[in-house]
Structure 1
């Protein structure tokens, strides 16, 4: 052992600091987000009656509503459900009337199996317009003799007087198959008012999503719903709301409701309403090279590099960041490459 100038032994040289290392791995990366949601039948919408008369019979809560079946009764006459996007907004009684309400009636009678004859072609829908006014014709079908005859046959089969005409309040137009959510009217109330509410026919999960994040979610996206029991079931995004609402307890975070539908209704048959969690995979990268984020070394001139145990730097292009890992690529970066990491 060497002696110092005063006869004392010299201290041993400092040990080399050990560095943590990791390896570049080939893997799949995904960015998942879990959000709370509510399982149920979705938001209820009111059904408003029209026309004259008194309500004499109402459906039961939870009843399924199908096309062509009675929804409620006015003056002891059934009011059937038709499906469509346009309500009956006028009396349909004259051959030659044109409009989307006529299209709605034609679509429903056809779906119920009635032959309405030839439908008006796009060319036939162009009305005889004054060359001076050049007014645009109404869109939709024309009430033809064939359609009116089919209407009479349906009315006769349904137990109604076969007039071949439809008046306000004689059908209830709904967006599609639904279920009765609640009863608002009482027997003897005027028909022209809010009578019942309806909901979706199948159970869905409503998920409030921050408006700034909803762009990462798309219709048809596969997701996973975690039930209160802990069971995980497959589902997919079926609708993204257009309305932005205030969210959070302080109402400062705008949100959009996203509708998620379980792939199999039997998975949620035993649950009427519950708080659940929905796991979204909003981004995925398959078969890529990755390292822990701590292995990235920021360069003074910009960009990133990986450091080898001997000190050499290897330039790295970065891709997806998720859950502490980062996608990397570049010359010399291969699976199994050992690099320095801070974590």
Structure 2
């Protein structure tokens, strides 16, 4: 009996502690639910609104490009002889100036699109090569005389061709004399090289002692430009002369302009190194509007933003203001809860063009926060 009393007292104490804990827990629960909690949870959230604005929208895309001097063009020698002197990489060559030397004779540059493919030595010859010589010597200040409309045999001189006259032959002699050459009035194949314009020497492929009949050097544009590879299916939206934005490595954005679009399609087949395929692409050349903007950069990876379509003076709202309708289409929600059906147009930089009945500039509408 003596041992049973402590047990009963212990049981009573445990029961009392349990009740206290339970009551405490109940108090704790009540204190976590203050008065008015249900009212706060059911309050409507504040609406975020915006206004319909009138602005210009443009559809643009950014593509990676490489700043440099553009693609290289190989210059091959012609005729017979030994190369005795070559230019240095980085040198620029102008019209009428020597590009390299063969047998210690300078080979000057002429501008045009037709190589000198035959010996010009007989007055009366007609051709596009004669036109190249005539136009270049005239540009250099030599008196080439007027061009007759008909050759000596009475046939009409075709457009973009010229007749080798006695006056032109005399101009050739004076030009040769100024270059330190024998004034023969005769130009043989390989004694002048025709390029499309002023160039910069990008690479030297030959060494003195090589035969002139081979690859001698490679030339590039004289000024810096950006080469951008554009997919052939999308290049149709790019226009020569179009304004673009060039982002430099330091994030500076400078204006540029599309200078030319290549007619040669590259790629479109498996890569010899990786076995991967890629879409065919076309090189687009972009020139900075101000060459000084890239004067300190020789080469760099850049981004070029092309603007393909522009919509001027249109009504627009943030994309988050559009409400998709169950039956299809879109609407704008008014602050009073009403919906206003709209037609959407161009999407650009988080904005969307909208139009429709009662859609006016300054109209307040609900938008996503």
Short-chain TM bin: 0.7 to 0.9
Find the residue that maps to 2:121 and give its secondary structure: coil
Find the residue that maps to 1:253 and give its secondary structure: coil
Indicate the residue corresponding to 1:106 in structure 2. Answer: 134
Is 2:358 the counterpart of 1:332?
Answer: yes
Question: How far apart, CA to CA, are the structure 2 residues paired with 1:108 and 1:207?
Answer: 33
Deviation at 1:308, TM superposition (A): 2.7
Question: How far apart, CA to CA, are the structure 1 residues paired with 2:108 and 2:235?
Answer: 38
Is 2:293 the counterpart of 1:234?
Answer: no
Deviation at 1:230, TM superposition (A): 2.5
1:216-295 to structure 2, matched below 5 A, reads 216-246=237-267, 250-295=276-321
1:43-82 to structure 2, matched below 5 A, reads 43-82=71-110
**Of the candidates 55, 59, 62, which is equivalent to residue 27 of structure 1?**
55
Indicate the residue corresponding to 2:230 in structure 1. Answer: 209
Residues 125, 231 of structure 1: alpha-carbon distance in 2 compared, 3 angstrom cutoff: farther
Question: How far apart, CA to CA, are the structure 2 residues paired with 1:197 and 1:139?
Answer: 28
Deviation at 1:192, TM superposition (A): 1.2
Going by fraction, where is strand more abundant, 1 or 2?
Answer: 1
Bigger shift: 62-71 or 325-334? 325-334
**Of the candidates 323, 329, 343, which is equivalent to residue 349 of structure 2?**
323
Residues 225, 138 of structure 1: alpha-carbon distance in 2 compared, 3 angstrom cutoff: closer
Residues 300, 140 of structure 1: alpha-carbon distance in 2 compared, 3 angstrom cutoff: farther
Indicate the residue corresponding to 1:39 in structure 2. Answer: 67
Question: How far apart, CA to CA, are the structure 2 residues paired with 1:16 and 1:230?
Answer: 44
Indicate the residue corresponding to 1:308 in structure 2. Answer: 334
TM-score, normalising length: structure 1: 0.86
Q: 2:124·2:152 contact (CA, 8 Å) conserved in 1?
A: no
Find the residue that maps to 2:280 and give its secondary structure: strand
The size of the alignment, in residue pairs, is 325
Find the residue that maps to 2:241 and give its secondary structure: coil
Is 2:115 the counterpart of 1:94?
Answer: no
Indicate the residue corresponding to 1:132 in structure 2. Answer: none
Q: 2:126·2:151 contact (CA, 8 Å) conserved in 1?
A: no
Deviation at 1:43, TM superposition (A): 0.9
Question: How far apart, CA to CA, are the structure 2 residues paired with 1:332 and 1:229?
Answer: 46
Point out the structure with max Rg over C-alpha: 2
Indicate the residue corresponding to 2:143 in structure 1. Answer: 115
> Aligned Cα RMSD in Å?
2.7
**Of the candidates 148, 156, 165, which is equivalent to residue 177 of structure 2?**
156
TM-score, normalising length: structure 2: 0.80
Going by fraction, where is helix more abundant, 1 or 2?
Answer: 2
Q: 1:70·1:79 contact (CA, 8 Å) conserved in 2?
A: yes
Question: How far apart, CA to CA, are the structure 2 residues paired with 1:47 and 1:73?
Answer: 13
Indicate the residue corresponding to 2:190 in structure 1. Answer: 169
**Of the candidates 155, 166, 179, which is equivalent to residue 200 of structure 2?**
179
Residues 125, 303 of structure 1: alpha-carbon distance in 2 compared, 3 angstrom cutoff: farther
Deviation at 1:204, TM superposition (A): 0.7
Find the residue that maps to 2:168 and give its secondary structure: helix
Question: How far apart, CA to CA, are the structure 2 residues paired with 1:47 and 1:28?
Answer: 48
Deviation at 1:166, TM superposition (A): 0.8
Residues 127, 322 of structure 1: alpha-carbon distance in 2 compared, 3 angstrom cutoff: farther
Deviation at 1:298, TM superposition (A): 5.0
Is 2:168 the counterpart of 1:147?
Answer: yes
Find the residue that maps to 2:132 and give its secondary structure: helix
Q: Deviations over 1:221-272 (max 9, x none)?
A: 1122222223222211111111121279733222111111111222212211
